[in-house]
Amino acid sequence: MTYAFDFSGFGLYADMLVRGAAVTLGLTAVSTLLGGLVGIAGASVAAAGPKWARWLVAGYVELIRNTPFLLQLFFVFFGLPSLGIHIDEVQAAILAMTVNLGAYAIEIVRAGIDSIPRGQLQAAQALGLHGRQIFRHVVLPQALANVFPALLGQVLIVMLGSAVVSQISVPDLTYAANFIQSRNFRSFESYLIITATYLLMSIVLRQLLNRFGRGLFAGRAARGQGSGNNNDSGSDRLPRNWRSRLLWRGARTLPTER
């Protein structure tokens, strides 16, 4: 059995495809910004916050990471109106994508924070910095540099996963494919075009963000990892209770080496 490809009628829907791609990229950009902020805030709490706050963050992370994104989207779009919170489909998509990305970003950034050697914090204290200054100027930049590839991968996963927002009538790429194939009945060609578009966007976005990351974090990851063998040992990491005092209470002294 042979199949005759026919792309002749797709030129009529070029504008819809472009708009769908723009919507997908726009949702990704906004949710990446907001989800990144959620990840940084949540990771700082998970690494050095009070116990009750760490439990809340852990519960949020486990809830989101162990439930389907489509269910989270439906909960936001169909469930929140039952509580008197009315948002449109685009706002629901952004909220669901932000909540989803934020949960994964928390664990990624927390791992980056825990990777910072003790010597970096001691050096910062020797320069007269204290708690929040050390976190902002020393710990966070190097932590983000160390885990930037993982964050980039998660952003791409969220972008590709955003295809399900078409289920609540967000006019993204997948919505455009569904609409086009319902009009010209060329399902294979429609989804082939959309697949190629997602592939192209993923490759281009990865390259752009990689260049952005190399420029933004130039040299920071290397300094964060250290050059000596002792930096790779567990004894070089700051104990969590002391990190808590350092980051949240502005402590200016560290315990002596055990």
Task: Label residue 220 by pLDDT band (50, 70, 90).
Answer: low
For residue 116, count other CB atoms closer than 10 A to its CB.
Answer: 27
Dihedral of alpha carbons 238, 242, 243, 246, sign:
negative
Residue 12 CA: distances (Å) to CA of 29, 93, 171? 28, 27, 17
Distance of alpha carbon 81 from alpha carbon 48, whole angstroms: 35
pLDDT above 90 for 13: yes
pLDDT above 70 for 103: yes
pLDDT at 130 (0 to 100): 79
pLDDT in tens, 128-168: 887 788 888 888 888 999 999 999 999 999 999 999 999 99
Whole-number percent of the chain with pLDDT over 90: 62
> Tokens 């998970």 identify what position?
46
Distance of alpha carbon 5 from alpha carbon 7, whole angstroms: 7
Task: Tell the burial category of 108 from Cβ atoms under 10 Å away from its Cβ (0-12, 13-18, 19+).
Answer: buried
Nearest Cα neighbor of 110 from 160, 181, 154, 58 is 58
Task: Label residue 219 by pLDDT band (50, 70, 90).
Answer: low
Distance of alpha carbon 144 from alpha carbon 159, whole angstroms: 20
Nearest Cα neighbor of 103 from 39, 178, 27 is 39
| Residue, of 123 and 237, whose pLDDT is higher | 123
Q: Which domains does the chain have, with CATH numbers?
A: 26-248 (1.10.3720.10)
pTM: 0.83
Give the mean model confidence (pLDDT) for residues 233-256.
47
